[in-house]
Amino acid sequence: MNKIITHYSKKDSLFSKTKPPEFSFTFQLATFSKEELDNANYYALGSICQKNNGFPEPQKALKYQDIIFEYTDKRYGVNKKQIAPFRVKKPKYGKKYKGFYLDWEFEFAFFKKVFFDEVLAPLGLQSMEVLDYKTMKPLEDTVQLIIPLAKSKLLLENSAYDIHTKEETGGYKQYALQTLDFFPPFETDFDFHICYSQEELLRGHRKIIISKEFCKLLVKHKIIEYSTDFLTPLRRW
């Protein structure tokens, strides 16, 4: 022991480096087989759309947050509530994409208005306007999908996602963003196409939960891919 202490107490020189190696760690994220995806009735996602349309505006010093949201505690994103339309750069969809997400606010979904009107609106889903940041006028070709809050809590407490102490999250209960296991099921069943988790994830984000039928619809229209890169199956009772 004394030899170890003596060695690591020496000063580094050009030919002798005595500083102990630094340790690092990474999360081992969970992946799922096609069979596990097929057997699920519901899926959790961090974001719906594949295309990125940059940051919400005004992005400097995160000024958009004070315009678009209100919080119980902004430092930790607690009880984040949207109170105004997003301001974004005018999107360029092309032929491939029908929607987009934004950096920093990836759980919010934006779609071409014609796609929303023809495919999503008939399901009873609602939308709100999106503003062109340069003109401050509503975009004619884009709407934001309004995702309702779940009618039930999830069984997240003491699950693989319950890894953050309240010291890490300012005294608030928040769960892991990473995909660490099957996502826990709801406490009680209810009918829905898409919803946000009642529970908050780290920094105030919420998980998107979709039904199997809505998942098939999104895959059919190439909004998402049917793969573990996009989908985390909810554990069945």
Read off the pLDDT of each residue in 96-105 and give the average, rounded to a whole number.
94
Q: Is the pLDDT score of 179 beyond 90?
A: yes
Lowest mean pLDDT: which of 16-25, 109-118, 200-209?
16-25
Taking residues 179-201, what's their average pLDDT?
A: 97
Question: Is residue 192 predicted with pLDDT exceeding 80?
Answer: yes
pLDDT for 50: 87
Rounded to an integer, the average pLDDT of 99-128 is 97
Output the pLDDT for position 10.
Answer: 52
How do 126-132 and 87-88 pair as beta strands?
A: parallel
Report the candidate in 178, 185, 179 with the shortest Cα–Cα distance to residue 202: 178
Mean pLDDT of 211-236: 95
Three-class SS state of 3: helix
Does residue 7 register a pLDDT over 50?
A: no
Rg (the chain; Cα; Å): 22
CB 206 within 8 A of CB 196: yes
Q: What are phi and psi of 190, to 5 degrees?
A: -160, 155
Neighbouring CB atoms inside 10 A of 172's CB total 17
Give the H/E segment covering residue 139.
strand 138-146
The pLDDT of 126-133, averaged and rounded, is 98
| pLDDT score for 60 | 94
Question: What pLDDT is recorded for position 96?
Answer: 84
Residue 25: predicted pLDDT: 43
Residue 236 is predicted with a pLDDT of 86
pLDDT at 119 over 80: yes
Structure tokens at 71: 């919080």
Q: Which pLDDT belongs to residue 51?
A: 92
- pLDDT (0 to 100) of residue 94: 82
Instruction: Report the C-alpha gap between 236 and 130 in whole angstroms.
Output: 37
What are phi and psi for residue 67, nearest 5 degrees?
-90, -40
- Give 62-79 pLDDT, tens digit per residue: 999 999 999 999 999 999
Tens-digit pLDDT profile for residues 147-169: 999 999 999 999 999 999 999 99
pLDDT given for residue 58 in this prediction? 97
Which pLDDT score, from 0 to 100, does residue 29 have? 81
- Per-residue model confidence (pLDDT) at position 139: 98
List, as own/partner pairs, every contact residues 4-8 make where C-beta atoms lie below 8 angstroms and the sequence separation is at least 24, other chains included.
Answer: none
Q: Quick one: average pLDDT of 194-219?
A: 97
Tell me the β-bridge partners of 175.
201
